[in-house]
Every structure is written in C-alpha cells, then in structure tokens.
Chains A and B, each alone.
Chain A
Amino acid sequence: DGGITQSPKYLFRKEGQNVTLSCEQNLNHDAMYWYRQDPGQGLRLIYYSQIVNDFQKGDIAEGYSVSREKKESFPLTVTSAQKNPTAFYLCASSAEALAGVYEQYFGPGTRLTVT
C-alpha cells in the first residue's frame, strides 16, 4: 500500500447524502484510477485519469463524480444518485505508459456503508 493513501478506512453515511473519498499519491504517477469491489465481482472501474485536469468514465460511472486538480490527488464523490453505494472502494495509480509498461499501485481502500 505504500505511496497511496486513502481516507478514511471506514465511512458510514445515511442514504441521500453525498460523500467524498480521499485518494493521495506521492509516487509522481500521471495516471490514477477508482475501482469498486463487491464480493464475487472483482474490481470494476469507476473513473480514471491519465493526466491532471482530465478524466474519463469507466464501466460504472453513474452516480459518481471525480476531479483531478492536482497530480497527487483524485477524490471520488459518491452521490445520492448511486443506487447501491455500499462497497469497498480502491484507488490506484500507475506511471504513464509511454516508455514502459507499469503496474498499478493500490491504496488500502475505503469501506463505505450507507444505511
């Protein structure tokens, strides 16, 4: 988990509230990603960003929003429009693949529970 921090580790919210999950990296990586993990479904990509001030929707972007104002930071907001927000959220980063093939580094995750 070194190099990427996610906070908080556990988060509880009431239904109808927006909540923002923090992700910070000090690896000087250009690319950052948000995944959602549910039991038996592996990782599903929510949003990704290849460079500052630019991001693209992943496979399950509905009900989520992101920003990438700084290279180090890629916060994820879970809005009230997300139907089933309770899940384990993972942030990752990787070097931009111009001069090589780089693996992703993952944060420790945030477990969000919405009741």
Chain B
Amino acid sequence: AQSVAQPEDQVNVAEGNPLTVKCTYSVSGNPYLFWYVQYPNRGLQFLLKYITGDNLVKGSYGFEAEFNKSQTSFHLKKPSALVSDSALYFCAVRPYNFNKFYFGSGTKLNVKP
C-alpha cells in the first residue's frame, strides 16, 4: 500500500533559523515526490518536486528538499525561516506508473518573530 507520513503535527522555529519539515513514504517502485503549502482557507500551492537525478531539489520561496532513497525520506528545508513561511505543509507521493497522488497529514509550521 502507498502511504506518506509526516511525523510532526507542528514545527516551531524562530525567524532567521533553519527549518526542516519531515516526510517519509512507502510506495512501490521509484516514486515521484512533491511538497505543497497551504495558507488558511486556500487551496494548496506547489513548492517543489523530485523526479530523478540530484537528491537536493530547489523550489519556490527559497525552499529545498532532500531525497534520501535508503531512508525513504523527502524532508523539506529552508536555511532561514521567515514569519511569512507560517502555513500548513503537505508532502505527497505519486507512484511512477500511475497518476494518483497520496498526501501526508500535513505539518503546521509556526515561525516566531
């Protein structure tokens, strides 16, 4: 069965500090991995994706994510957090052979001034 886990319901960081939002997955074959962000009462916005190649993927708004095949993880990172980064973040996985997406339960990121 395909699944995505985001082990932290909430992550708190101070502005200017680095942030990490964790994601692990279980999917058959080589997966395609995505990160999305959601602001209150809005739809999800795409941040970045991993398809193949370099394990470090760079995306929108200074975010990046590191793919680790042996640990089946795809953690979202940013070197210096902003208060405006406060939002709900979702990790998603798509099997290589089917256009269906599986989402994690979301992690609320709080960045304090």
Contact = CB atoms under 8 A, between A and B. Distances in A.
Interface string A36-62: 000011110100101000000000000
A55 to B, nearest CB: 12
Interface of A: 1, 4, 6, 31, 33, 35, 40-43, 45, 48, 50, 88, 90, 92, 94, 96-97, 101, 103-109, 111
A41 B105 contact: yes
B74 interface: no
B42 A42 contact: no
Nearest to A91: B43
Contact of B51 (A4, A43, A101, A111): A101
A106 B43 contact: yes
Contacts of A105: 46
5 contacts: A40-B9, A90-B43, A92-B44, A97-B94, A101-B32
Contact of A42 (B49, B90, B99, B100): B90
| Secondary structure type dominating chain A contacts | strand
Interface of B: 6, 9, 32, 34, 36, 41-46, 49, 51, 90, 92, 94, 99-101, 103-106
Contact of B101 (A6, A33, A96, A109): A33
Contacts of B41: 88, 109, 111
B99 A97 contact: yes
Contacts of B106: 40, 42
